[in-house]
């Protein structure tokens, strides 16, 4: 019996480094990044800063640490940041900004398209009054749950923040997915779109370890002065790494070879959604990038655990409860998507 290949749709973080990426890692010149002398880290930091139009960048082990360094560099004790209820930098990071920085989040509800309504942002900005925390920062996430924020919205929200004297941070863990999706509508290439989006912000965080396919690592970008502050916080957070050029080389390889191919992941997500669209009991949200959300409805609602277990037994991994989540990436091909589709169909037809 041949072992069935696992189709792992839990997240785009599960990608394994490609053979070519491993070669790049093995060949990377290394130093000690705490001394600032790792050439591969320095090259990556310069590359991503240039690519996104910032003066400087900082290589960090995780996106969570990147957002933490950003928020604590923009805000001090008793300041607050405006952020989405579903944003990673609010909901999914253990309350780090509050715990480590005494920075208060001001979460806002998202509209259906993932945006934070401009009027709600404006209303949340506190006047200078001893009753209130000082509103210092607007943090947006793009993509948000796989949704591309409309570029005109990103411009309007960040313009408002700037006019009100706020700093602006982009959690662009999946910025390049956003850029690839946006480039399909503007005709510009993805790098141009990435820098147009990032250009609306004072700082931006990107993950190399998601769709870009590197094993570990994120970068925080901003002005030289901002990155100097973030560098100190990274050290406090335990993120000063040594021969981290090994990881930076993987990230550089990803930037060189894995940006445009994100379009393949988006196509695979559409293929998956199309394959599942007409099944009774499923409400499939049409994907804009590489994440497909599926709501179980009616009688099917109670069967999510059963469905996931059935998929699991057939070597197909996904996550969720009422909302199932399927994420496409470098290691998922059309055959894998088709297997997932027929396994879900089989479950409901049985
Ligand atoms: C994954 C993710 C992060 C955090 O990245 P980790 O490397 O898992 O800490 C931050 N923001 C968003 C939007 C993410 O999707």
The 10s digit of each residue's pLDDT in 22-49 is 999 999 999 999 999 999 999 999 999 9
Q: What pLDDT does residue 13 have?
A: 97
Distance CA 200, CA 209 (A): 24
Give ranges for CATH 3.40.640.10 in the chain: 31-257
Q: Which atom of ligand 1 is nearest to the CA of 141?
A: 13
Ligand 1, atom 10, residue with closest C-alpha: 63
From 86, 171, 197, give the residue whose CB has the most ligand 1 atoms within 8 Å, as the site to mutate: 171
Q: What pLDDT does residue 16 have?
A: 97
Distance CA 201, CA 277 (A): 37
pLDDT reading at 2 higher than 70: no
Distance CA 239, CA 232 (A): 10
**Span 7-14+261-349: which CATH code?**
3.90.1150.10
The 10s digit of each residue's pLDDT in 288-342 is 999 999 999 988 889 999 999 999 999 999 999 778 999 999 999 999 999 999 9
Q: What pLDDT does residue 228 have?
A: 98
Strand order in the sheet with 79-84: 56-60, 218-222, 203-207, 167-172, 134-141, 79-84, 104-108
Joined tokens for residue 227? 């990155």
Ligand 1, atom 4, residue with closest C-alpha: 63
Q: Is 74 in the pocket of ligand 1 (CB under 6 A)?
A: no
Question: Cα of 321 to ligand 1 centre, how many Å?
Answer: 20
The 10s digit of each residue's pLDDT in 113-139 is 999 999 999 999 999 999 999 999 999
Please report the DSSP string for 191-250 in residue order: HHHHHHHHTTSSEEEEESSSTT--SS-EEEEE-HHHHHHHHHHHHHTT---SSTHHHHHH
Classify strands 218-222 and 56-60 as parallel, antiparallel or unpaired.
antiparallel
Q: Is 171 in the pocket of ligand 1 (CB under 6 A)?
A: yes
Fold classification of 31-257 (topology level)? 3.40.640
Q: List the alpha helices (DSSP H) in 244-333.
A: 245-257, 262-276, 304-313
Give ranges for CATH 3.90.1150.10 in the chain: 7-14+261-349
Give the mean pLDDT of 167-182: 98
Residue with tokens 């960090």: 60
Q: Is 207 in the pocket of ligand 1 (CB under 6 A)?
A: yes
Q: Which atom of ligand 1 is nearest to the CA of 144?
A: 13
**DSSP for residue 241:** -
Q: Is 173 in the pocket of ligand 1 (CB under 6 A)?
A: yes
From 174, 206, 207, give the residue whose CB has the most ligand 1 atoms within 8 Å, as the site to mutate: 207
Q: Is 141 in the pocket of ligand 1 (CB under 6 A)?
A: yes
Distance CA 77, CA 83 (A): 17
Joined tokens for residue 269? 């997500």
Distance CA 17, CA 254 (A): 9
Question: Cα of 342 to ligand 1 centre, how many Å?
Answer: 31
pTM for the full model?
0.97
Distance CA 140, CA 324 (A): 24
Partners of residue 8 on adjacent β-strands: 317
Q: What pLDDT does residue 349 have?
A: 86
The pLDDT-based confidence of 225 (bands split at 50, 70, 90) is very high
Q: What pLDDT does residue 4 have?
A: 77
């Amino acid at each position: 019996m041949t072992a069935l290949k696992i189709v792992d749709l839990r997240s785009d973080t599960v990608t394994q480094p490609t053979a070519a990426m491993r070669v790049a890692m093995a060949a990377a010149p290394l130093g000690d990044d705490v001394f600032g002398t790792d050439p591969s880290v320095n090259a990556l930091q310069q590359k991503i800063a240039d690519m996104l139009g910032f003066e400087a960048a900082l290589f960090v082990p995780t996106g969570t640490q990147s957002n933490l360094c950003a928020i604590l560099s923009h805000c001090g004790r008793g300041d607050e940041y405006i952020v989405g209820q579903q944003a990673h930098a609010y909901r999914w990071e253990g309350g780090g900004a509050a715990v480590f920085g005494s920075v208060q989040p001001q979460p806002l509800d998202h509209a259906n398209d993932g945006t934070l309504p401009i009027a709600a942002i404006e209303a949340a900005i506190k006047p200078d009054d001893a009753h209130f925390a000082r509103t210092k920062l607007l943090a947006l996430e793009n993509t948000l749950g796989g949704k591309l924020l409309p570029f005109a919205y990103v411009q309007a929200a960040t313009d408002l923040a700037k006019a009100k004297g706020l700093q602006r941070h982009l959690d662009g863990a999946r910025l390049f997915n956003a850029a690839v999706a946006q480039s399909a509508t503007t005709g510009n290439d993805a790098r141009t779109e990435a820098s147009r989006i990032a250009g609306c912000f004072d700082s931006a965080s990107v993950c190399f370890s998601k769709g870009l396919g590197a094993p570990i690592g994120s970068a925080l970008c901003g002005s030289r002065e901002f990155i100097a502050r973030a560098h100190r916080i990274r050290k406090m957070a335990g993120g000063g790494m040594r021969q981290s050029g090994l990881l930076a080389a993987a990230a550089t390889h990803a930037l060189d070879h894995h940006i445009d191919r994100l379009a393949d992941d988006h196509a695979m997500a559409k293929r998956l959604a199309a394959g599942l669209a007409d099944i009774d009991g499923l409400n499939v949200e049409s994907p804009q990038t590489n994440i497909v959300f599926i709501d179980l409805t009616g009688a099917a609602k109670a069967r999510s655990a059963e469905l996931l277990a059935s998929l699991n037994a057939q070597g197909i991994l996904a996550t969720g409860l009422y909302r199932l989540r399927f994420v496409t990436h470098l290691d998922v091909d059309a055959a894998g998507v088709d297997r997932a589709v027929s396994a879900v169909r089989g479950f409901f037809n049985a």
